[in-house]
């Protein structure tokens, strides 16, 4: 594949910052997620 990204786009990507609502969503999702191990199986439960 040819060079996809120019140097300008790479420099712009270094300045990315997530929105506060995105961070809050990910934190609340990770707090609500529960992984249960049972007989060599894993179950994921979202505790809402």
Q: What is the pLDDT of residues 19-43, one digit of tens each?
A: 999 999 999 999 999 999 999 999 9
How many domains are contained in the chain? 1
Domain membership of residue 38 (yes or no) is: yes
Domain membership of residue 4 (yes or no) is: no
More confident residue, 38 or 14: 38
DSSP 12: H
Domain membership of residue 40 (yes or no) is: yes
DSSP 36: E
Domain membership of residue 5 (yes or no) is: no
Domain of residue 43, residue span? 18-48
Burial of 11: CB neighbours in 10 Å, binned 0-12, 13-18, 19+:
exposed
Mean pLDDT of 2-20: 69
pTM (global) more than 0.85: no
């Amino acid at each position: 594949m040819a060079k996809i990204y120019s140097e300008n786009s790479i420099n712009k990507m270094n300045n990315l910052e997530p929105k506060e609502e995105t961070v809050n969503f990910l934190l609340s999702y990770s707090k609500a997620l529960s992984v249960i191990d049972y007989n060599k199986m894993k179950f994921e439960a979202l505790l809402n």
